[in-house]
Amino acid sequence: MKIAFIGGGVMGEAMIRGILGKGLTTPQGIMANDISAARLSSLEKAYGVGVTGDYGIAVEGADVIVIAVKPQNLAGLMPKLQGHLTHGQLALSIVAGAAIATITGGLGHRSVIRAMPNTPAQIGEGMSVWTSSREVSQRQKEIARSILGALGREIYVPDEKYIDMATAVSGSGPAYIFLVIEALVDAAMHIGLPHEMAEELVLETVVGASLLAKETGTPPKELRDMVTSPGGTTAQAILKLEDGGLRDLLLHAVIAAHEKAKALSG
């Protein structure tokens, strides 16, 4: 399988690393394209992949063209790719907020998959939600599934509206968790814990709690009740969080992110 990367950044590199790590192709099967010569040199040195600044050379013979540019650069990129993609090639876009109709129209190419991965993909623990245009074949869907699966978990959705919803939950979600981690570390230091100890306690607690919920399949409320003794320290803390409107804040944060995602998708 031959894969071309147009742009990249952190997520593009995560995909290259995951694809090679899973043995989906060899370094010789990957061609990277970027406007930054330094970036291309770094990818070539780190992974042994082919690199080029020429769009035509990048996509020639590729089974999959991964479009991984920043959203603000997409409009300027697509005219440069027009005419270079051929029948049978798959365009896989991870550009945030770019609807399938935007990609197909801008590229003049009908076989398009739109995916929303998240940043834990950098360590193979990502969550990707994806969908496709009607022209994408079953074989191409399986190829996309294997590529996104190299980043962690993946979910196919039949309707593009779910991509915008996933953007607000799993796409933006790591930032919500990082904010909670940051706040918990600050709180731990406020009551007297040294910074390094506070950070280790918080990080391991977040990881452990997530794994417990995932591996046991126990509803979060039941797990919370197991920790919360009547009249105890946890009960007092939960009361403060509920009084402070934690649930309502998270609800409105996700709604705001969803509205923004829909606006970007047009």
pLDDT for residue 266: 73
Local confidence band at 66 (pLDDT 50, 70, 90 cut-offs)? very high
Placement of tokens 């399949």 in the chain: 217
Name the CATH superfamily for 173-265: ProC C-terminal domain-like (1.10.3730.10)
pLDDT tens-digit series, residues 26-52: 999 999 999 889 999 999 999 999 999
**Residues 11, 94: contact at Cβ < 8 Å?**
yes
What phi, psi does 217 have (nearest 5°)?
70, 10
Which secondary-structure segment (H or E) carries 7?
strand 3-7
* Residue 10 confidence (pLDDT) above 90: no
Interval 133-146 mean pLDDT: 96
**Helix axes 71-81 and 100-107, enclosed angle (nearest 10):** 30
- Report the mean per-residue pLDDT for the chain: 95
* Residue 8 confidence (pLDDT) above 90: no
Interval 228-254 mean pLDDT: 96
| Closest among 147, 101, 136, 113 to 266, alpha carbons compared | 101
What phi, psi does 258 have (nearest 5°)?
-65, -45
pLDDT for residue 265: 82
Count Cβ neighbours within 10 Å for each residue of 209-243 and write b for 16 or more, e otherwise: eeeeeeeeeeeeeeeeeeebeeeeeeeeeeeeeee
User: Are 3-158 and 173-265 the same fold in CATH?
Assistant: no
What percent of the chain is modeled with pLDDT above 90?
A: 92
- The architecture of the domain spanning 3-158 is 3-Layer(aba) Sandwich (3.40)
- Cite the beta strand spans of 28-136 per DSSP E: 30-33, 50-52, 64-68, 90-93, 112-116, 126-132
- Cite the beta strand spans of 8-156 per DSSP E: 30-33, 50-52, 64-68, 90-93, 112-116, 126-132, 152-156
Q: How far is it, in rounded angstroms, from Cα 154 to Cα 137?
A: 18
CA 60-47-55 angle, to 5 degrees, is: 25
Q: How far is it, in rounded angstroms, from Cα 37 to Cα 10?
A: 16
Placement of tokens 């909670």 in the chain: 180
Placement of tokens 């998959």 in the chain: 113
Domain boundaries of the chain, sorted by first residue? 3-158, 173-265
**Which of helix, strand or coil describes residue 16?**
helix
- Cite the beta strand spans of 94-232 per DSSP E: 112-116, 126-132, 152-156
- Region at 128 (left for phi over 0; alpha for psi -120 to 50; beta for the rest): beta
Local confidence band at 101 (pLDDT 50, 70, 90 cut-offs)? very high
pLDDT for residue 256: 97
